[in-house]
Amino acid sequence: MKVGQPVTDKPKNYVIELKNLRFRWPGKQGWQLALDTLQLEAGQHLFIRGASGSGKTTLLNLLSGITTPNEGELWLQQTAMHKLSAAKRDTLRAQQIGVVFQQLNLIPYLSVLDNVLLVARFANRTGGELTERATMLLQHLGLQDELHHKKATELSVGQQQRVAIARALLLRPALLIADEPTSALDADNRDAFMKLMLAEANESGTTVIFVSHDKALQGYFSWHLAMEQLEQGVQPC
Amino acid sequence: MLMKLARLSLWNRRGTVLMTVLSLVISISLLLGIDHLRHEAKNSFTSTVSGTDLIVGARSGQLNLLLYSIFRIGNATANISWETYQRIQNHPQIAWTIPISLGDSHRGYRVVGTNQDYFEFYRYAGQQQLQLAQGVIFDDVYDTVLGSEVAARLGYQLGQEIVLAHGIGQVSFSQHQDKPFTVVGILAPTGTPVDQSVHVSLQGIEAIHIDWQQGAPMPGRRVSAEQALEMDLTPKAITAFLVGLNSRAATFLVQRQINEFRGEPLTAILPGVALAELWQMLSMVERLLLVITVLVLLAGLVGMTTTLLASMKERQREIAILRAVGAHPRTLFWLVQLEVLLITLVSMLLAMAVLMVGLWFGQDLLASRYGLFIGLNPIRQSSLQLMGLVLGLALLLGCIPSWLAYRKALTDGLSVRL
C-alpha cells in the first residue's frame, strides 16, 4: 500500500508495480496518462473511481497489456511488461490477467462452459482439470450445472457477469481487472455479485483492480483511489 | 478451438452465410460445369470420325468438306463422278472407301446414300464401330437404316415406311412419294451426327431420282418403284468419300495424288487436321464462356467479402472479448481467413454435388435431345486447377475482412463502442 513513495530498488513481491508511467496516443500532444507510482501487493484489492474520459480506459489497456507505455516501467510480478513484445503481452494476459467488462462479456454463440474455457486456449493450457475447475467456479458463483451447456445469450445479465468472473479466474491469474462490471445490475444483484467476485478472487489468490464511477461500491474495498489522485500520485484516502 | 470458433461463428450468422454459400455454389458449379462441358464437347467433337485417313470431295475448302461430309452441315458445291470414284478406289494404297451421297432429307434429317462398307469401316470415338440396336443393315434398294435420334424423335419402328424429301429443308414440297423406304435397321446411339442420319443405299438414291432432272420431277415421265428396280441403278455421281489406307505413312502421298488428279478437281483432307481447325474456331466461343464464368465467380467472391466486411461491425464485441482473453491480433486475422476457407470449401463441395446431380439428370436429356454424351464425373486435372484458383482467389479477397479484424483488434483494444 505504497503510493507516491519513491522506489529505487528492484521490484519486490508486488503483483503490479508502475513507475513513472507515461502514455500518449500516437500523433497527439501531451501525455494522456501520467502515473508516477503505484504498487499493489498480493491479495490487495484496489478500487479506482473515475468517470469516463478520465483516462481509465487507457489505464486498463496499459494494465492488461493491450497497449504499452511510451515511458516508464510496468511490472506484473517479476515480468517487465513494458519490455515485452505485443504477442508476449497477449499470452501473458491470457495466463496472468483476467478481464471483466461492463456487460456482454461472452461470445454469444458459445456455450457457458466454452466461454469459460476460452481463455485456456490462448494460454496454451488444456486438460480435464480445467473443465473441472470451470464447473466448480460456475457452481460457486451460483450457476447450476444445467446452465453450463446453454448458450451464453440465454442467461440473464447478472448470470452472464458471473460467467465472466469464472472465465477471468479460471487460470488463477495474478490480476483481475474489472471495468464497471456491475453497471448493468440492479442493487440486489450488485451486492451478491461483489461478494462472490471478491470471495472467488481471494480463493484463487488473485488481486483485483476494480474501476467504477459508483462510490457506493467503495465499501467493499480497503483501498480506494480516484483517477485524479492516481495521476497526481498522491496518498490514498 | 479456432476451428470451433469459426464454425460456430458462421453458424451464428447462418442466414447471411447461407446466401453467400448459395451464390458461391452457383458460380462455382457454373465454372466447373462449363469447364466439364468444354472438355466433353471437345472429346465428343474430335471423336466424331476416327480411323479415316482422308476425306475426298469436289474441290473446296477443307472446312466445308468436313462440315458436309461428317457433320451434315451445309452443301457440297459439286459432285464426284462415279468413274473418278472407281479409279481412285483402285489405288493400290487404298484399303477401303465409304461413298457418301447427300442432298435429300427426311423431316429435317439428312439422308446419306452409302453402301455396306459404311457399317463396316466407319469408326468414331477411337475404334468404335457402328452397332445396330435393332434390325439389320439395308440390303434392298428401298431399305433404310435410321440413326438412333431419328428413330427416337420421330418414333419410328422397324417395318415402317418413310418417304424421303428432295432437298434438305425441314419442310419440303417435293417429296419422293412414289418410292417409300422401309425401315430395316436402327443404329445404337453414337453421340455423332450418325445419330441424325437416314441411311439408304446408293442405288436407292439413284432410284428416287431416276425420273428427276435439275432437282425437279421430269414432266410427263413417271417411273414407278418397281420399274426403277429393272433399270440400271449404278450411281452417276457421289458427294464425297472416306478413305482408309493400307499404311498411314502413305497419307500425304495419296492426298497429293488426289489433289492433283487430272480427271476432275478434287480435294482430299486429313480429318484430324480439319477437326482441329474447326475446333479452334469454336473454341473462341468456349473461351469467352469460360471468361464470363470466371467473372461470375469473381462476383460471388466479392459478395462473400462484402458480407464478411459488413459483419465486422457487429463482431466488434467478439473481437474485444477474444482480445481480453489473450488472442493476438493475428489470431483474429486467421479466424476470419478460416471462415473464408470454410465457406469456400463447403461451397465447392456443394457445387460439385450440384454438378454431379445435374449431370446425372441432364445426361439423358443431352443425349436424347442433342446427341451429346457427357461423362458423369466432372473431376479432372483442369477442374482441380480451377478449384485451386477459386480457393486462392477466396483467400486473397478474404484478406480484406481479415485485415480489418486485425486492425480492429490492434487499435480498439478492450474498448467497445456500443
The helix/strand/coil state of B84 is helix
B3: nearest CA partner in chain A: A121
C-alpha distances out from residue B301 to A218, B12, B305, B340, Å:
54, 21, 6, 10
Rounded mean pLDDT, B43-50: 80
Segment B219-265, tens digit of pLDDT: 767 778 888 888 888 888 999 999 999 998 999 999 999 999 888 89
- Contact list in A for residue B327 (CB cut-off 8 A) is 90, 94, 122
- Which residues have a Cβ under 8 Å from the Cβ of B215 and sit 6 or more positions away? B166, B167, B174
Segment B60-117, tens digit of pLDDT: 888 889 988 988 888 888 899 999 999 999 999 999 999 999 988 888 899 999 999 9
Give the range among A164-178, A216-230, B268-282 with minimum mean pLDDT. A216-230
A57 to chain B, closest Cα gap in Å: 7
Are B414 and A67 a contacting pair at CB < 8 A?
A: no
Give the range among A5-19, A139-153, B107-121, B400-414 with minimum mean pLDDT. A5-19
β-pair partners for B129: B123
Enumerate residues 12 to 71 of chain B having a beta carbon within 8 A of any beta carbon in chain A: 12
**Closest residue by Cα to residue B192 from B136, B257, B131:** B131
- Contact list in B for residue A118 (CB cut-off 8 A) is 1, 321-322, 325
* pLDDT of amino acid B408: 82
- Contact list in B for residue A57 (CB cut-off 8 A) is 414-415
The helix/strand/coil state of B363 is helix
Please tell me the distance from the alpha carbon of residue A157 to that of residue A192, in angstroms, as a whole number.
Answer: 13
β-pair partners for A151: A111
**Closest residue by Cα to residue A209 from A193, A196, A197:** A197
B393 to chain A, closest Cα gap in Å: 29
A170: nearest CA partner in chain B: B325
Please tell me the distance from the alpha carbon of residue B256 to that of residue B240, in angstroms, as a whole number.
Answer: 17
State ipTM: 0.84
Segment B188-217, tens digit of pLDDT: 988 788 988 999 999 999 888 887 776 667
A1 to chain B, closest Cα gap in Å: 27
Residue A4 has pLDDT above 60, yes or no: no
Residue A6: which pLDDT band, with cuts at 50, 70 and 90?
A: very low
Among all chains, which residue has been given the C-alpha cell 428432295?
B166
Q: Each residue of A2-24: b (16+ CB within 10 Å) or e?
A: ebeeebeeebeebbbbbbebebb
- Contact list in A for residue B407 (CB cut-off 8 A) is none
Please tell me the distance from the alpha carbon of residue A28 to that of residue B322, in angstroms, as a whole number.
Answer: 28
**Among the partner residues A60, A94, A179, nearest to B325 by beta-carbon distance:** A94
Contact B151, B197 (CB under 8 A): no
- What pTM was computed for the model? 0.74
* pLDDT of amino acid B143: 93
Are A107 and B326 a contacting pair at CB < 8 A?
A: no
Would you call A108 an interface residue with chain B, using a CB distance cutoff of 8 Å? yes
Contact A144, A113 (CB under 8 A): no
Residue A86 has pLDDT above 90, yes or no: no
Backbone φ and ψ of A45, nearest 5°: -115, 140
Backbone φ and ψ of B333, nearest 5°: -60, -50
Please tell me the distance from the alpha carbon of residue A47 to that of residue A177, in angstroms, as a whole number.
Answer: 10
* pLDDT of amino acid A72: 85
Rounded mean pLDDT, A38-64: 81
**Among the partner residues A86, A94, A99, nearest to B414 by beta-carbon distance:** A99
B334 to chain A, closest Cα gap in Å: 14
**Among the partner residues A57, A93, A106, nearest to B326 by beta-carbon distance:** A93
* pLDDT of amino acid B255: 93
Are B327 and A90 a contacting pair at CB < 8 A?
A: yes
* pLDDT of amino acid B171: 63
B331 to chain A, closest Cα gap in Å: 10
* pLDDT of amino acid B232: 84
* pLDDT of amino acid A2: 42
C-alpha cell at B98: 465409304
Are B324 and A93 a contacting pair at CB < 8 A?
A: yes
A91: nearest CA partner in chain B: B326
* pLDDT of amino acid A3: 45
Contact A58, A33 (CB under 8 A): yes
B324 to chain A, closest Cα gap in Å: 6
- Contact list in A for residue B8 (CB cut-off 8 A) is 109-110
Start-to-end CA span in chain A (Å) = 11
Tally of residues, chain A = 237
Enumerate residues 321 to 360 of chain B having a beta carbon within 8 A of any beta carbon in chain A: 321-331
Segment B359-414, tens digit of pLDDT: 888 887 776 666 666 777 778 888 899 899 999 999 999 999 999 888 888 777 66
**Among the partner residues B11, B331, B414, nearest to A109 by beta-carbon distance:** B11
Rounded mean pLDDT, A186-195: 84
B5: nearest CA partner in chain A: A110
A7 to chain B, closest Cα gap in Å: 30
Are A101 and B324 a contacting pair at CB < 8 A?
A: yes
B318 to chain A, closest Cα gap in Å: 6
B7: nearest CA partner in chain A: A109
**Closest residue by Cα to residue B278 from B71, B114, B19:** B71
* pLDDT of amino acid B99: 94
Segment B293-348, tens digit of pLDDT: 889 889 889 988 998 888 888 788 888 888 888 888 888 899 999 999 999 999 99
C-alpha distances out from residue B114 to A236, B144, B264, Å:
113, 11, 21
A60: nearest CA partner in chain B: B414
Residue B118: which pLDDT band, with cuts at 50, 70 and 90?
A: very high
* pLDDT of amino acid A236: 40
Torsion sign, CA atoms B89, B92, B97, B100: negative
Identity of the residue numbered B132: L
Instruction: Tell me the DSSP string of chain A.
Output: ---S----S---SEEEEEEEEEE--TT-SS-SEEEEEEEEETT--EEEE--TTSSHHHHHHHHTTSS--SEEEEEETTEEGGGS-HHHHHHHHHHHEEEE-SS--S-TTSBHHHHHHHHHHHTT---HHHHHHHHHHHHHTT--GGGTTSBGGGS-HHHHHHHHHHHHHTT--SEEEEESTTTTS-HHHHHHHHHHHHHHHHHHT-EEEEEES-GGGGGG-SEEEEHHHHHHTPPP-
Contact B310, B404 (CB under 8 A): no
